[in-house]
Amino acid sequence: MPYKNAQFAIVVSDFNRDITSKLLEGAIQHLAEKEIATSQIKIVHVPGAVEVPLIAKRLAEQKKYDAIICLGCVIRGDTDHYQYVCAQVSEGCQQVMLQYNLPVIFGVLTTQNEAQALARVGGSEGHKGIEAAMAAIDMINVLHELN
């Protein structure tokens, strides 16, 4: 399996830490289950979701990682701020992925409320941290097959 020797970076937003810490735990758990050593995983914490793409880009520039997993949680509030943050982080991550031909996995929850977010970190809607790690592994394997 090509992913066994891969290097992973995880960028995680500290805003809504009660949710993002669970996303991170799930991603690390899944990578460990796939026999990825902690030495193969670089974790970088950022203040909020808007900062995720910049750090993903900096990590991509290093050309050391086979996939970058971006984790965060944006919960709708009473203002338009939610829409701007969601657009910036999703577009930013996509730009990094396309610019560097590198899997940049979008594991940023964009929910209407905290209950929806909690449902996505081990609740009724699965675990998006685990799913992000799965997607990273899958993309590494797909890209390897195309080479």
The partner residues of 106 in beta bridges, in order of sequence, read 70
Rg of the chain taking only CA atoms, in angstroms: 14
Q: Is 127 a catalytic residue?
A: no
The token pair at 128 is: 């998006």
Concatenating the DSSP letter of every residue in 14-70 gives -TTHHHHHHHHHHHHHHHHHTT--GGGEEEEEESSGGGHHHHHHHHHHTT--SEEEE
| Residue of 30, 45, 81, 127 marked active site | 81
Q: Alpha-carbon distance 54 to 33, whole Å?
A: 29
Helix (H) or strand (E) holding 89: helix 81-100
Positions marked active-site: 81
